[in-house]
Structure 1
Amino acid sequence: MRYEQHCPIALAAEVVGEPWTLLIIRELLHGSTTFPDIARGVPGMSGGLLTRRLRKMETAGLVTLLPPDRPRGAELTEAGRELSAVIEPLGNWGARWLPPPRHGDLDPGLLLRDIARGIDLSALPANAVTVHFRFAESPGPRWWWLVLSQTVAAPTVHDPRLPQAMRIDCTLGALARVWLGHTDWLEALREKAIVITGPRGSVREAIAWLGTSRFSGGRPTEVGAPAPSS
Structure 2
Amino acid sequence: MQSYNQFCPIAKACEVLEPRWTLLILCEMWSGSSRFNEIKRGVPSMSPSLLSKRLKGMEDLGLITREELDGNIDYKITEIGHELGPIVFALGKWAHRNIDAEVTLEKLDAKLLMWNVRRKVDISPFTTTKKVIQFVFTELGKDKRNFWLIYKPGCSVDLCTKDPGFEVDLCVMAELKALTSVWIGLSELADELRHKKIVLLGDKHLAATIDQWMVRSDFAPKLKIA
TM-score w.r.t. length of structure 1 = 0.86
Matched with 1:93 is 94
Q: How many angstroms does 1:146 deviate by?
A: 1.2
Matched with 2:207 is 203
Cα RMSD (Å): 2.1
Secondary structure of the residue aligned to 2:124 is helix
Q: How far apart in 1 are the matches of 2:184 and 2:215? A: 10
Matched with 1:72 is 73
Would the aligned equivalents of 1:96 and 1:217 in 2 still touch at CA under 8 Å? no
The amino acid that maps onto 2:146 is: W
Matched with 1:158 is 162
* 2:143 matches 1:143: no
The amino acid that maps onto 1:156 is: C
Aligned residues: 217
Change (3 A) 1:63 1:70: farther
Q: How far apart in 2 are the matches of 1:64 and 1:70? A: 16
Listed as ranges, the gaps of 5+ residues in structure 1 are 219-230
Q: How many angstroms does 1:68 deviate by?
A: 6.8
* 2:184 matches 1:183: no
Q: How far apart in 2 are the matches of 1:49 and 1:211? A: 31
Secondary structure of the residue aligned to 1:43 is coil
Matched with 1:112 is 114
Q: How many angstroms does 1:163 deviate by?
A: 4.1
Q: How many angstroms does 1:175 deviate by?
A: 0.2
Deviates more, 1:165-174 or 1:87-96: 87-96
Would the aligned equivalents of 2:124 and 2:213 in 1 still touch at CA under 8 Å? no
Secondary structure of the residue aligned to 1:113 is helix
- The alignment-based identity, stated in percent, is 34
The amino acid that maps onto 1:142 is: R
The amino acid that maps onto 1:30 is: S
Secondary structure of the residue aligned to 1:88 is helix
The amino acid that maps onto 1:14 is: E
Would the aligned equivalents of 2:122 and 2:212 in 1 still touch at CA under 8 Å? no
Change (3 A) 1:47 1:118: same
Change (3 A) 1:216 1:94: same
Q: How far apart in 1 are the matches of 2:90 and 2:119? A: 18
Would the aligned equivalents of 1:132 and 1:166 in 2 still touch at CA under 8 Å? yes
Would the aligned equivalents of 1:107 and 1:138 in 2 still touch at CA under 8 Å? no
Would the aligned equivalents of 1:62 and 1:76 in 2 still touch at CA under 8 Å? yes
Would the aligned equivalents of 1:118 and 1:214 in 2 still touch at CA under 8 Å? no
